[in-house]
């Protein structure tokens, strides 16, 4: 295989997990992962993953059936992901911050036969299971050897270590090819319902060859640390696809990536590569605990999830003497396809196309736009997803021949550098995660005091997007700070935490069209014109 041909098509065997294990066969004693519990060497990773694959098959899962992976970032996560792939079973990675309603939908939509879940997340998964029919037969709990049994699981509830120890490691990988379905990642859509984005076994190989090795320059002696979690496409590349492609080590962190939590790893584990999002960089720069340059070993940092404001990138580099290369990727393309380069960073831009990917900017009629004008961003490259599972309409809207519609708007300057101009629709991206205005608005109007609501994105003092809700109250209800806090809490209790509105403004009426549709662009214009 090489970066021109890649893994072979149908008929030519390629199993991504088996490929990694073979590539790292000479590194059995080298540390692959360090988490809050200890370290895991490359030889142990391969052996435990093969045991996990054998255990899933012994639990009567069959080729291309799904296993839900709802787990915090520990070494059990890559063991589970690679073990399922090795056995030809499809891991379905899920955000650990969703609600029981979201998980109930994912369970029904994916038809997952088994679930591997971190112990603290078992209650919310059990609540999701109680809301409707599901296909779960086996539940494996990471983080405890004596999990409490969960009702409605015919195959039983198992501790992770007990599940692995039940049999011998799987001797042979499933015979898959590069185009075989490998894994799913769930991506939020404009309706608020997550989309099951289906990737093949070859996709991780491609993103490592096209971005991890040549752009990041990742090498065997690197120590990687990603604030973005493994269930994100961004985090999955940072902490699994890229380091395992070159025999590097990765630091995993189960807790939230607060500034102090990140700083402890920077100064304790001394990573050389760090991967974060603009919100995180802004929070760290504002923290009184920010380490001095000589306390860290960073050689390069990466930013994605939303556009990195120029001022944040420049301040970070001044303090640490380390560049932050801003890039854009997507769940549909698996990782970054447009990026700044080490030694060639233009803060305020998203850089240039990653070699191996083609970028096209088009107007509303599908025609190319000239330099300096804003267009819709389309991408063509070998890591594109196959489809959205059981969603032909949205698959056809996004995957158009060889091209993938990103839903982002960009402009390109005469030097070929691209600058972000916003989303093509009303979707917001807050802290690197999409938020559907419709979902938040529908939740707000469930409150007894709210008549109508509209959500938009506004930029804060760092140039980062924050959600703001405009709320019309019912007659007899008075606005105030107490009600604002109550509404924010109301949304937090019903939706994933990142979806609550950071600001709320009470207004008399919302701008609408003659047919009654809310005109969010008028609210955005109002914000821009405000003194």
pLDDT reported for residue 9:
61
Spatial CB neighbours of 90, under 8 Å, sequence gap ≥ 6: 64, 65, 66, 67, 84, 181, 182, 183, 184
In the beta sheet, which residues pair with residue 512?
518
What's the rounded Cα separation, in Å, for the pair 468 and 487? 12
- Residue pair 105/500 in contact (Cβ under 8 Å)? The answer is no
**Greater pLDDT, 47 or 521:** 47
- Tell me the backbone φ, ψ of residue 442, rounded to 5 degrees: -65, -30
271: pLDDT strictly greater than 60? yes
CB atoms within 10 A of CB 410: 22
Q: What is the pTM of this model?
A: 0.86
Q: Residue 80: which pLDDT band, with cuts at 50, 70 and 90?
A: very high
pLDDT digits (tens, 9 = 90+) for 328-358: 999 999 999 999 999 999 999 999 999 999 9
Structure tokens at 526: 């109002």
What's the rounded Cα separation, in Å, for the pair 487 and 235? 32
Q: Residue 188: which pLDDT band, with cuts at 50, 70 and 90?
A: low
What's the rounded Cα separation, in Å, for the pair 136 and 521? 44
What's the rounded Cα separation, in Å, for the pair 15 and 400? 27
User: Over the range 239-269, which residues count as b (16 or more CB within 10 Å of their CB) and which as e?
Assistant: bbbbbbbbbbbbbbbbeebebeebbebbeee
pLDDT reported for residue 3:
60
Chain centroid, CA 484 distance in Å: 30
pLDDT reported for residue 498:
87
What's the rounded Cα separation, in Å, for the pair 58 and 50? 12
Query: Which residue has 């809700």 as its token pair?
Result: 469
22: pLDDT strictly greater than 80? yes
493: pLDDT strictly greater than 70? yes
Closest to 187 (Cα-Cα) out of 452, 341, 441, 404: 404
Q: Is 120 exposed, middle or buried (0-12, 13-18, 19+ CB in 10 A)?
A: middle
pLDDT reported for residue 192:
56
Q: Residue 115: which pLDDT band, with cuts at 50, 70 and 90?
A: very high
What's the rounded Cα separation, in Å, for the pair 350 and 337? 10
pLDDT reported for residue 167:
87
Spatial CB neighbours of 320, under 8 Å, sequence gap ≥ 6: 293, 296, 298
Helix, strand or coil, per DSSP, at residue 192: coil
Q: Residue 191: which pLDDT band, with cuts at 50, 70 and 90?
A: very low
276: pLDDT strictly greater than 50? yes
> Over pLDDT 70: what percentage of the chain?
96
pLDDT reported for residue 10:
58
Q: Tell me the average pLDDT across 193-206.
A: 94
Strand residue runs (E) in 173-251: 181-188, 194-200, 223-226, 249-251
516: pLDDT strictly greater than 60? no
Dihedral through CA 486, CA 130, CA 232, CA 491, nearest 10? Answer: -10
- H helices of 422-477, where? 437-444
Query: Which residue has 């015919």 as its token pair?
Result: 154
pLDDT digits (tens, 9 = 90+) for 422-439: 777 777 778 777 687 878
pLDDT reported for residue 190:
39
Closest to 29 (Cα-Cα) out of 291, 186, 247: 247
Q: Tell me the average pLDDT across 450-455.
A: 90
pLDDT reported for residue 31:
98
What's the rounded Cα separation, in Å, for the pair 71 and 462? 32
What's the rounded Cα separation, in Å, for the pair 525 and 220? 50
- Residue pair 471/516 in contact (Cβ under 8 Å)? The answer is no
Structure tokens at 113: 């036969």
Structure tokens at 266: 């920077």
502: pLDDT strictly greater than 80? yes
**How many degrees, rounded to 5, is the angle at CA 202 between CA 198 and CA 207?**
95
Lowest mean pLDDT among 79-83, 282-286, 385-389: 282-286
370: pLDDT strictly greater than 90? yes
Helix, strand or coil, per DSSP, at residue 184: strand
Q: Residue 467: which pLDDT band, with cuts at 50, 70 and 90?
A: very high
Q: Residue 96: which pLDDT band, with cuts at 50, 70 and 90?
A: very high
């Amino acid at each position: 295989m090489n970066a021109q041909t890649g893994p072979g098509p149908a008929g030519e065997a390629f199993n991504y997990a088996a490929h990694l294990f073979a590539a790292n066969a000479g590194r059995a004693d080298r540390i692959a992962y360090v988490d809050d519990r200890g370290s895991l060497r490359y030889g142990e990773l391969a052996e435990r993953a093969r045991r996990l694959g054998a255990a899933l098959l012994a639990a009567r899962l069959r080729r291309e059936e799904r296993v839900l992976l709802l787990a915090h970032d520990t070494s059990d996560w890559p063991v589970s992901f690679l073990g399922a792939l090795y056995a030809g079973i499809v891991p379905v990675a899920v955000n650990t911050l969703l609600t029981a309603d979201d998980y109930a939908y994912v369970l029904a939509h994916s038809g997952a036969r088994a679930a591997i879940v971190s112990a603290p997340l078992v209650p919310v998964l059990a609540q999701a299971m109680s809301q409707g029919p599901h296909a779960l037969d086996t539940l494996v709990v990471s983080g405890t050897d004596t999990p409490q049994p969960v009702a409605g699981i015919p195959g039983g509830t198992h501790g992770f270590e007990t599940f692995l120890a039940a049999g011998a490691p799987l001797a042979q990988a499933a015979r898959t090819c590069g185009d075989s379905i490998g894994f799913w990642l769930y991506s939020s859509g404009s309706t608020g319902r997550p989309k099951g984005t289906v990737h093949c076994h070859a996709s991780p190989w491609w993103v490592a060859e096209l971005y991890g090795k040549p752009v990041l320059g990742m090498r065997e002696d690197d120590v990687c640390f990603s604030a973005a979690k493994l269930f994100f496409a961004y985090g999955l590349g940072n902490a699994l696809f890229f380091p395992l492609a070159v025999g590097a080590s990765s630091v995993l962190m189960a807790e939230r990536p607060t500034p102090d939590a990140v700083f402890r790893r920077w100064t304790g584990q001394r990573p050389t590569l760090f991967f974060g999002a603009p919100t995180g960089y802004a929070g760290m720069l504002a923290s009184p605990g920010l380490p001095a340059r000589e306390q860290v070993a960073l050689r390069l940092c990466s930013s994605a999830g939303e556009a990195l404001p120029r001022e944040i990138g420049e301040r970070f580099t001044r303090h640490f003497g380390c560049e932050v290369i801003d890039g854009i990727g997507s769940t549909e393309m698996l990782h970054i396809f447009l990026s700044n380069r080490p030694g060639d960073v233009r803060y305020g831009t998203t850089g240039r196309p990653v070699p191996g990917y083609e970028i096209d900017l088009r107007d509303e009629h599908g025609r190319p736009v000239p330099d300096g004008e804003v267009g819709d961003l389309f991408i063509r490259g070998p890591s594109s997803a196959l489809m959205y599972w059981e969603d032909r309409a949205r698959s056809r809207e996004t995957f158009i021949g060889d091209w993938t519609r990103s839903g982002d708007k960009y402009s390109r300057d005469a030097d070929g550098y691209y600058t972000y101009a916003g989303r093509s629709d009303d979707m917001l991206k807050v802290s690197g995660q999409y938020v559907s205005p419709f979902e938040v608005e529908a939740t707000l109007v469930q409150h007894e005091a709210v008549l109508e609501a509209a959500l938009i994105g506004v930029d804060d003092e760092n140039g980062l997007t924050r959600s703001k809700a405009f709320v019309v109250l019912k007659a007899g209800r008075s606005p105030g700070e107490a009600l604002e806090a109550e509404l924010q809490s109301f949304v937090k209790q019903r939706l994933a935490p990142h979806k609550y509105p950071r600001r709320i403004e009470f207004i008399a009426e919302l701008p609408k069209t003659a047919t009654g549709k809310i005109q969010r662009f008028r609210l955005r214009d109002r914000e821009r014109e405000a003194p």
